[in-house]
Amino acid sequence: MNPKKLKQLKKRAKKQSTASTPYIVQMQAYRELFQHDPQILILINHVLEADRLMAAGLAPQPLPVLQVPDDFQDQLFKRINAQYAMDDPKGDAEWNQLSAALPAVDQHLRDFRDYIEDQYGMWAYISAPFLKDLADFVGNGPVLEVMAGNGYISKGLKRLHPSQTVITTDSKAWTKEKDNQTGKQPVTSIEGLDAVSAFEKYAADIDYVIMAWSPDKLAIDWDLLQAMRASDHQVPLICIGEKYGATGSKAFWDHADYQAGPAIEQLNAHYRPFDLIHDQVYVIK
């Protein structure tokens, strides 16, 4: 079976199994359950605060690595032993309840990316500090965002530089998928253009192209890069993705000319992995 189709089926099965209790409601319950355990509580609070900000239309803050620490069970055992007498059944009951809940908590933390993909159509996690780094990098010059999804990057840049020309485009092909919120909850105006068409239309008018999380295994990114190289207007491509991983095509990553330097390091200063996907920011020519 196609790996992408298999992932969709797994996600659909997971949605069906948890449909009776929404993700955030479950996380709120876990926050109550682990209220005396800061190692877990801080992770859950990060998730809930990120969701609160996104629901309000605001960019969230960076996330720590969302998984139960390896030593947490030992720390939990020490806390309960210190809190209860050796023969107190309340200690046994709390230990049994919390240790039994740990696998589910860990899975829910790891599922946060799936949640924001489904709920907000946000694939690359776009935090407020990263948006400031990006705005500083591109300055006030005109930029084009391709494959913009719901437009979180463009909205963030416009908020920081209200007078800046930010052209936001997406083919909106994702809106045809029933279970996908990409393109269905736009946070800014989005012009219906595929990446190559958008670049060809606006190449003479922009200083940068921004592309976040080009679909994996599809050659759209490679088509775009070839079009940019063939153009009379040489414009850098700011790419957010996981090299040879969850985003983009092999041809793109094989042929990308990666730029380096302090300014690009600063672009990644607040763009940090929070799960098993290790995406980052590249500047490519």
- Residues 145-173 have pLDDT tens digits of 999 999 999 999 999 999 999 999 999 87
DSSP lists the bridge partners of residue 281 as: 240
pLDDT for 185: 83
pLDDT for 172: 84
pLDDT tens for the chain, 285 residues long, are 334 444 444 454 454 444 578 999 999 999 999 999 999 999 999 999 999 999 999 999 999 999 999 999 999 999 999 999 988 999 999 999 999 999 999 999 999 999 999 999 999 999 999 999 999 999 999 999 999 999 999 999 999 999 999 999 999 876 555 455 555 689 999 999 999 999 999 999 999 999 999 999 899 999 999 999 999 999 999 999 999 999 999 999 999 999 999 999 999 999 999 999 999 999 999
The CB density around residue 241, as the number of other CB atoms within 10 Å, is 24
In which residue ranges of the chain is CATH 3.40.50.150 found?
128-284
Angle at 124 between CA 26 and CA 112, to 5 degrees: 15
CATH top-level class for 128-284?
A: alpha beta
Q: How many CA atoms lie within 13 A of 248 on its CB side?
A: 26
Percent of the chain topping pLDDT 90: 87
The kind and range of the H/E element at 144 are: strand 143-146
